[in-house]
Copies of this chain bind each other. A is one copy, B any other.
Amino acid sequence: MQLTILGCNAATPRKNAQTTAQLLEICGQMVLIDCGEGTQIQLRKLGVKFARIQHIFISHLHGDHFYGLIGLISTFRLLGRTADLHVYGPKGIKEIITLQLKFAKSWTDYKLFFHELEETHSTMILDHEKFTVETLPLDHRVYTNGYLFREKVGKRKINSAAVTDYGVDVADMENLKQGKDIQLANGDWVENHCLTFDPAPPKSYAFCSDTAFKPDLAALVKGVNCLYHEATFLALHQDLAEKTKHSTAAEAAQIAAKAKVKQLILGHFSSRYPDLTPFVTQAQEHFQNVHLAEDGKVFAID
């Protein structure tokens, strides 16, 4: 699993500061999370093949999280996309996008599916062959969800040496990967665990932006490999965080600590801070393994 930060800044895009968008590579799929203005340019800079993106998850309908969506959807059409596209986001997103396509007389030639969300409790919204996505209800000024991505347990891994020793037929490899015992040419049965290794433990990623401090979030993201949590403000602006329903670095770190996640990434920084170092120091009072998001930065999730 690999996460690329396309943008991690609050409120407005600036010269060298993109608003929220992330690209998650999970089980060979490319998933886009939020889509601030200019996201399609960020994707081009990184050389991402647009057709590989089949799922887009929008947290909420504030501009710094979705104003780039209509442009991306239009560009997909102009580039001759044929693959289906699934967009998940708050109720209203379909009306906003389709209204613009209507006035442009530019309906997509590919199938565009909207999955509008209204639930206020965590819900599984995608059960893909290889991974699942659940909502993480957040507490912001408008209806907002984070998203929890979990790989499914993969197939068992072939123990090449054992397979050779036992003289297992090539035709049985898929059965072995699926955990089945197999019968050798001499009629003997061999138990699966003698011929395979456990699959890699499934990894998980939780995206939480934007939200006021929400302690009960910890239960939902318990033990994830990586938690991205917004940290718009430093402790100095605790009052602003409360007023605007955002979090401080310390609050984000408290969620990470309580949930015992492996790694914390902070982002959605207010433009008022020229130096982001205090975000790390204030977070590390609660949780050690903390990183700062940065436009273009790639994080391995393992």
Query: Which residues in A have some Cβ–Cβ distance to B below 8 Å?
Result: 11-15, 37-38, 40-41, 44-45, 61-63, 67-68, 70-71, 74-75, 78-79, 90, 92, 95-96, 99-100, 103-106, 141-142
Q: Tell whether, in the assembled complex, residue B99 and residue A95 are in contact, meaning their CB atoms are under 8 Å apart.
A: yes
**Given A95-B99, A99-B96, A15:B45 Cβ within 8 A:** yes
Q: Tell whether, in the assembled complex, residue B63 and residue A105 are in contact, meaning their CB atoms are under 8 Å apart.
A: no
**A63 to chain B: which residues have CB within 8 Å?**
70-71, 74, 100, 104, 106
A105 to B142, CA, bound (A): 7
Q: Tell whether, in the assembled complex, residue B104 and residue A62 are in contact, meaning their CB atoms are under 8 Å apart.
A: yes
Q: Tell whether, in the assembled complex, residue B13 and residue A104 are in contact, meaning their CB atoms are under 8 Å apart.
A: no
**A38 to chain B: which residues have CB within 8 Å?**
13, 37-38, 41
Q: Tell whether, in the assembled complex, residue B99 and residue A37 are in contact, meaning their CB atoms are under 8 Å apart.
A: no
Q: Tell whether, in the assembled complex, residue B14 and residue A41 are in contact, meaning their CB atoms are under 8 Å apart.
A: yes
A298 to B189, CA, bound (A): 80
Q: Tell whether, in the assembled complex, residue A62 and residue B13 are in contact, meaning their CB atoms are under 8 Å apart.
A: no
What's the least CB distance linking A198 to chain B, in Å?
43
Q: Tell whether, in the assembled complex, residue A40 and residue B12 are in contact, meaning their CB atoms are under 8 Å apart.
A: yes
Q: List 27 A-B contacts (CB under 8 A).
A: A11-B78, A12-B40, A12-B71, A12-B78, A12-B79, A13-B38, A13-B40, A13-B71, A14-B41, A14-B44, A15-B41, A15-B45, A37-B37, A37-B38, A38-B41, A61-B100, A61-B104, A62-B104, A62-B106, A63-B70, A67-B70, A92-B103, A95-B99, A96-B99, A96-B103, A99-B99, A104-B142
